[in-house]
Structure 1
Amino acid sequence: MPRRERLLHPTAWWLWGLGLATAASRTTNPALLLLVIGVCVLVVTQRGDPAAPNPMRAFLVIGAVIVVLRVLVTIVLGNGVYGDTVLFTLPQVPLPDWAAGVRLGGPVALEPLLFAIYDSLRLAAILACVGAANALASPRRLLRHLPATLYDVGTAVVVGLTFAPRLLTDARAVRSARTLRGHGGHGVREVARLAVPVLETAFERSLGLAASMESRGYGRAVRSSPASRRLATGLALAGLVGVLAGLYGLLDASVGGPLGLPLLLFGALLAGVSLVVGASREERTGHRRDPWQWPETATVGAGAVPAAALVVGSVQGWEGIVAPSSATLPPLPLAAVLALVVAASPGFFTPRPRPQVDA
C-alpha cells in the first residue's frame, strides 16, 4: 500500500510565508526581492505535496504580469516620479486643464521606470510568498485548525472554495452539451443562456450539501450569555483597531513612529483573547489533527528571522534596503541576505511529503 510521510502543520507554513511576505514588504532592493522569490520556489520544489495541485506557477505569472503592466503604465502615463535621464520620447497627447498632473505620452525617463520596476517587484514577491504558502499547505487544511469562534466562517469559506471551481466545470459541461445540440455561440447572449442551467445545478448541489451537513450535526445552536458575547465582540473590535493602527504605523514610519509594532502586538493580543473567550463557550472536536512538533516551530522561526531583520533594517536605515531610483545597483546588506538564506532552510529539514511504497 502506498503511504506518505506526514505533512507539516499548515499553520507553520502560512506563518513562514507571512514572515517572508513581511520581509518583502520592507525593501525595494531588486536583488533581495528576487532572493525572496527564489526562496519560495526552492522550498515549494523541495517540500510541495506532489498529490496536490501546485498554484505557485499561477502566482508567479500574476506577479510577472503586474510588473509588465506597471512598466507599461509608467511609460504611457507616468507615475509622478520625475527623472533627468530621458531614454526616449513618445508622441504626447494634449490633455485639458482639469487633467493637470496627468500626461499621455511624452518623455520617458529612467528613474520613473526603475521606481515602477522596484515597487511592482515587491508586490510580485509578496504574491510569491502567498503562492508558496498555498502550495505547501492548502487553505482547506488551514481552515481545519481555525479556533472554534471562527468555525462557522471557516465552514463558509470551505464551501466557497469547493463550489467556485465547480461553477466553471458546470459551465463547460453545459456549453459542450449545447454545442452538441447545434446551439453554439459567443458573447453576452450565450453567457445569459448558460447562466440558468449552471445556477440551477449549483442550487441543487447546495441543497444536497446543506442536507448532508445538517445530518452530521452542523449548525447546532451555541449557548452563550449576552455578557460573554459583548465581551468577545468588544475585544475583537479593539484588537482589530489595534492591528490596523499598528500596520499603518509600520508601513508609514513618519506617522506611527516607534508605536507601530507595540500597537500591532497589543491588537493581536486582544484579538487572540477574544478568540479564547469565544472558544470557551463553543467546544469543537477534531479528527486526526496534525501534530505540532519541532519542525513546525523551526519553520515558523525560519520565517520570522527575515521579517525581523528587514523590519529592523528598514527602521534603522540599512544601506541597500531601499533601492535608489538611479542606474546604479544598490548594495546587498549581508544581514538581510543571511536572514533570507535561513528562510530557505525548511526546504531541507522538514518532512518530505512524497509517496512511498511499503515493503
Structure 2
Amino acid sequence: MDITNGDGNLDPATFLPAIPKLKHLALSLDNIVREGASLPPLIRQYCPDLSSLILSGSGDYDIIAAHRRIHQRNENSTIPTTITTEAKKTIRINQVTVDNSSGSALLDLSLRNSWNIDLIGTASSLLRQLIHHSYTKIQSLDLSGTDELFDQEMITYLTDHPFPCLTRLTLRWEPTTNNALDHIVQNFIIQSAMNLKYLGLKCKQYCINDEFLSALCPVAKNLRELQLDYSELITTNGLRRFLETMTHPKRSLRKIIFNSTPAVNQELLYTIATSKLCIIDEMTIIYCKHVKIDDFEQFLDDKIQAAVNNDEEHNHDTISLRCEWMMNKLELCFYHDKDPAEFVESEKGKRFLKKLDRVAKEWKFSICSPITTLIFGNHVE
C-alpha cells in the first residue's frame, strides 16, 4: 500500500483498522506529522502482519519505487532464516536473546527524512519507537537524514541496539555542519556488520575513510554487495587494499557499485582487471570523475589480456572470453561534453561496445551530455 499524497494530513487510526492483512506500507511523513507518534502502536494493534515500512518526507524520495523494490525482493527471494518463527520460543543469536512470543515485528524499515526541519521530531520519534520494538528482527534498515536526525543521541541509541538479524544496511548521512561524530557512526556500522550481505553508504567528507574500511574487513565476513556514493575520504590505495581483502577468492564480496567515488581511477581499475585477489562479478561505475571512457577502455583491454594470460588455449582475437573469465553484469555511466552520438557512431565507440560484449555477459552503457542521453546494453535492469 502506497500513501504518498503530501498535501493533507492523515490519521493512521482511520485507515489501518480496515487493512489487517497489510504487509507492505509506504507512507509520506508529511501525511502523519501530527499523528506520527501513534503510528507504531497502531501498526502493532491493527496490522500485525506488516513486514516492510517505508517513511519519507517532502517528496525527496520516490517511495513507490522503493516500496516495489522491497516487495519484489521479499517475493522473489527467500527471507533469511536466521531465527525461527515458532511462537513462544526464545533463542540466542550472536549473544543476543530474542523473544519471539511478543508478536510480529518489522523486517524491512526505511526512513528517508527530508530536509524539512518541521519533520525532524516526527522522524526521530518514529525511528526510536520502531527500532525499540523491532531491532531483534529487522533484516533491512535504510536510514537517510541530516545532522538533526543523525545527532549524537540518535546514533548512540542505534549503537545500543545489536540488530542480530540485519543483512542489509543503507546509511545516507548528509551533514550540514562540521559534525564530529565519525567514530560513533563507524562503530554503529561495524557493530552491525557481522551478518551483512549488503552495505550502502552515502557520506561525502565524513565517516567513511581508509581506517573504517580496514576495520570493516575482519567483521563483514558475509558481505556480498557494497555501494559507495561519494566517500571522498577514501584513497585509491585504501580502496584497493579493501577490495583485495573482501573480494578475495575466500571471501564473499562480488558486487560493487561506485557512484561519484573519487578513489576510483585508472590505477584501481587496473587492479580489478588483473589481480587474482579481486573477483568481482558485478560492477557499476556512475559519474566517477577520475575515470574517463578511455580509462575504462584500457580496463577492458587489461581484463581481456589477463584472461588470455591465464588461458593458454584462448585466442586473443576471438569474439568473447570463456564464461569463467567474464563478468556477470557491468554498468557504466559517463558524462560526455559533446554529442554522445558522435562517440557511439565512431570507430572508437563501436570498438568500445564490442569490448563490452567480450568482457560482460550483461552490460549497460549510458553516455550523457547537456544535449541528450544515449543508453546501450543487454539485459541489465
Fold equivalence (TM over 0.5): no
Give the TM-score band, short-chain normalised. under 0.3
Superposition TM-score, scaled by structure 1 size: 0.22
Greater gyration radius: 1
TM-score by length of 2: 0.21
| More helix as a share of residues | 1
